[in-house]
Amino acid sequence: MAASALGLNAATGIETIKRHCDWPTLTVAIAVFAAVAVLHISIPWVVLAIAPLSFLLFWLKGHE
Amino acid sequence: MNNTALALIGVFAPLSLVSFGGARTIIPDIETQAVSVHGWLTHREFIEMFAISRAAPGPGVTLVTLIGWKAGGWLGALVTSLAIYVPVTLIVIGASVLFRRYDIPPWSERIERAMTPIAIGLILAGVASVLKLMGGTVISYAVVGASTAIINWRRINPLLLLAGGGAVYAVAYLRT
């Protein structure tokens, strides 16, 4: 059951990527995934560091 | 209030502030803190509670309440639930009052847009984190992959999907 529950979570993530498939979304999502799943950095620190970067990337995209 | 209750508040109140997209987004830290740092539950218990919280009706943060209950009984369940709900609720109320009072909808849209990929990365990191806890077996990867594909292909009842995953594991267990 846990594996199926993980599938539900993964499906939510993939569905959201499909709806917002642009370069800032992919860049930020990959950076967050790498920081948390690979480097095991605590989530509050990751959000504090990457949220301003995400705002900047979307601001830059808005001016393209 | 005992030390366990204070420790539960200390762990879950900060996580509440960054739970954009619900409890799914903070699973890696919940697992690290509850299993590795504080030893409130074993890997196996974490996986079981995760499955129960997804199968049970109600919000996904049921997982947090279950961890609180396991760590500190009814008091633990109560303080953990409050620690995960209250901070984020206050932020949402405060933000909605600000946005309404100063009429700044473009900012609310920008914030939502910038936080979406963070939620995506955290959800997928949570999947990787629990998958690793499950031992990374072929069957677990297969069930996760199949469940993801099925739910993206057809909007079926999640309970059927959970039951199907359980059945696959039961058959695999009986064959060994």
List of chain A residues whose C-beta atoms are within 8 Å of the C-beta of residue B150: 7
Do residues B123 and B49 make contact, with C-beta atoms less than 8 angstroms apart?
Answer: no
How big is the A-B interface in CB pairs under 8 Å? 169
Q: Tens digit of pLDDT per residue, chain B (176 long)?
A: 578 889 999 999 998 888 877 778 888 889 889 998 999 999 889 888 888 888 777 777 788 999 999 998 999 999 999 999 899 889 888 888 887 777 666 677 777 888 899 999 999 998 888 888 887 788 888 888 888 888 888 777 878 888 887 787 778 777 77
Torsion sign across C-alpha atoms B33, A36, B122, B126 = negative
What type of residue is B116? T
Torsion sign across C-alpha atoms B169, B57, B59, B6 = negative
Indicate whether this model's pTM tops 0.95: no
In chain B, which residue's Cα lies nearest the Cα of A24?
B117
Most A CBs within 10 A among B33, B47, B148, hence the mutation to make, goes to B148
Phi-psi region of B98 (alpha: psi -120 to 50; beta: other; left: phi over 0): alpha
Do residues A7 and B161 make contact, with C-beta atoms less than 8 angstroms apart?
Answer: yes
Q: Do A7 and B148 touch (CB under 8 A)?
A: yes
List of chain B residues whose C-beta atoms are within 8 Å of the C-beta of residue A6: 127, 130-131, 144, 147
List of chain A residues whose C-beta atoms are within 8 Å of the C-beta of residue B124: 10, 13, 29, 33, 37
B22 touches chain A (CB under 8 A): no
Most A CBs within 10 A among B44, B54, B120, hence the mutation to make, goes to B120
Do residues A40 and B36 make contact, with C-beta atoms less than 8 angstroms apart?
Answer: no
